[in-house]
Every structure is written in C-alpha cells, then in structure tokens.
Amino acid sequence: MRRVPPRSQVARRVSGAAIARKVAVASGVSGPSKASFDLEAGGAAGRTENDGPAGVSQIVSGVSATAGSAGTPGFSGVSGPSGTAETSGFSGSAAGAAPAVPAGIKPGDFFTLLMTDFQGEYQVYIAAAGECLVMVRFALSLLAAPFAATIALVSAKVVPAAWLTSWEHLPGYLFGLLAAFGVLAILPYLRMIEASITHVRTARAMNNFRLLYARELRGEFAARGWSPNLPVDPSYPDSFAPLSWPGINAIVLATLEAGYITVGMVGLARVRPAPLLIVFGTATIAMLLFSVYYIRTNVSRRRKEPANPLGFPRVET
C-alpha cells in the first residue's frame, strides 16, 4: 500500500516551494521558467530527509548559484559559486576580467626604429641637397631676366642699341627691372640658406648613426685592419662654413643681388654713377644679406675639423 505522508510534511514542502519562487523573483527570474520549476521539484524531493530550515537554505543557495552562473542581475548578499558576494549583479567571469595592457617596446624593436629613423633622415638629406641646387638655379634665372628683357627690347627695335652705351640714354624702366629682379632673387637666396642648414643638420645626424655602429664594431674593425673614412662626429659638419660650397653660393648670390639693387636704384634716381658710390652700395647690401646667412647658420657652433673620439686614422673633413 502507498504510504501517505502526514499533513505537516506536505505543508512544509509547499512552504519551501513558495520560498523558492519568491527567491527566484527577487533574483530577476520572471515567470514560471524551467529553472524555477526544477528548483521547486528538487526542493520538494529533497525534503524527505531534510525537513526544516536547513532544506530552505539549500534551495536559496541553489537559486543564488543559478542566477550568478547565468549572468542575470542579482542582489547584494547572495553568494555565487566561488562563495563571494555578487554586489555588481554580473557573473564573476565578466567582472573579474582585467583590461588588456598593450605590450611595450621590446629590445628587438629598437633596431627597426633606428633603421626607420635613418632612412627618413637620409631622404631629407637628399631632398635638401636637391632643393639647395634648385634655389641657386632659380636665383640665377631671376638675375638673368633683366638681360633677357633688354635683348628682347633691342631686337624689337623698342630700345636702340646705341642707347646701351650711355648711362644717360638708358630708359628708366630698364633700371627698374634691374632693381626689381635683384629684390626678387632674395627669396630663393633665403630658401637656399634654409636648405643648406637642413642638409648639414641631417649630415650630422647620419654621422651620429655611423658612430653608433662604429662603437659596437670597433673590435671587428681592428681585427680586420679596416676603419671607416667618413666622419663619426655628430657635431660635424658645421653649419657656418664660408669656404664650403653653401657658403660660396651665399657670398656670390648676395654680391650679385646687392649689385643689381644698387645699380637699379642709382639709375632710377638719375644720379651720376660714381664708382665709389656703386661699390659702397653693393658692399653694404651684400653684407646685410650675408649677415642673414651668418645668423641663421648659428656661428656659435663653429669647428675647424671633426672630432675623432674613437681614434680612427682616416677621417675625411
């Protein structure tokens, strides 16, 4: 015969199922979900041996563990699978994940950075040398423009060729052209100075790179009887070098532009062209233009020859 449980046990089972439903609602599980029915069934089945408050605590623990593992919002004080309080309402796997930290520069990456930096500086070095040459050609082209205009005027019979032999008979607009193109040529002159400074600065940077590998391979160089014949001084070449090609270009262009401006202004003023006046005006303007080169190239860094800290026997200057 089937054994009928007493009414007290049935009442306790029903109260345990009601508590399970309340806990499930407080945990965020709405409606008669499958998890709540399973918990109720499990709680009712497990009450045969453990009737009383202990069985209710097991049901509550099972609901809290289910809510924490599913990642549904919970409430403070309900313990998760690891026994820690779920105060944020999210699962332990989501809340405990640390943000990814980007890896730093490794020692092996420095060689790549050095190679990239050297290639960039070498490209700037080549571009600066090309720009310096282009600016010199452009300045000389501007200075040749007044002569081309005069030849065109004589060929068109606008200006008689006989007028070119006398200062008094030259038209004023020819002197104006001379002064105007002398002033215009100052712009490529300034750009040439900046290009030459950039060229020298990148040359010093490449010497610094050469010093890097020369120090590391000094023992290999001595064993093979070889040494680099290029400078390894990062302070060489010097920016201000009047007898170098950039310095000579600056001197020549400054003198030509000063002569054009002086002759043009004297001719426009219809002043008698005394040689002392022409020389004084040309020298004054040339010194002003050359002072720009002197100041921009930072004369305080002047050196006579490159340093040789590693004692290489052959270093070009």
At 42-97, the pLDDT tens digits run 444 444 444 444 444 444 444 444 444 444 444 344 444 444 444 444 444 444 55
Alpha helices (runs of H) in the chain, residue ranges in sequence order = 7-26, 34-46, 53-70, 92-95, 109-155, 172-184, 186-216, 218-224, 245-268, 275-296
CA 281 to CA 271: how far, in whole Å?
13
Of these ranges, 116-130, 178-192, 194-208, 261-275, the one predicted with the greatest mean pLDDT is 178-192
% of residues, the chain, pLDDT over 70: 62
Are 170 and 273 in contact, with CB atoms under 8 Å apart? no
CA atoms within 13 A on the CB side of 216: 5
What count of residues does the chain have? 317
Average pLDDT over residues 243-269: 94
How confident is the model at residue 314, as a pLDDT?
61
DSSP state of 171: -
Task: For residue 279, give the amino acid letter.
Answer: V
% of residues, the chain, pLDDT over 90: 33
What tokens appear for 312 in the block? 């290489």
DSSP state of 98: P
Average pLDDT over residues 159-175: 88
Q: pLDDT band at 302, cuts 50/70/90?
A: low
Q: Look at the pTM and tell me if it is higher than 0.75.
A: no
How confident is the model at residue 110, as a pLDDT?
76
Please provide the distance, in angstroms rounded to a whole number, between the alpha carbons at the two ends of the chain.
118
CA 298 to CA 197: how far, in whole Å?
10
In the chain, domain spans: 7-89, 109-301
CA atoms within 13 A on the CB side of 32: 5
How confident is the model at residue 142, as a pLDDT?
96
Are 189 and 289 in contact, with CB atoms under 8 Å apart? yes
How confident is the model at residue 228, as a pLDDT?
81
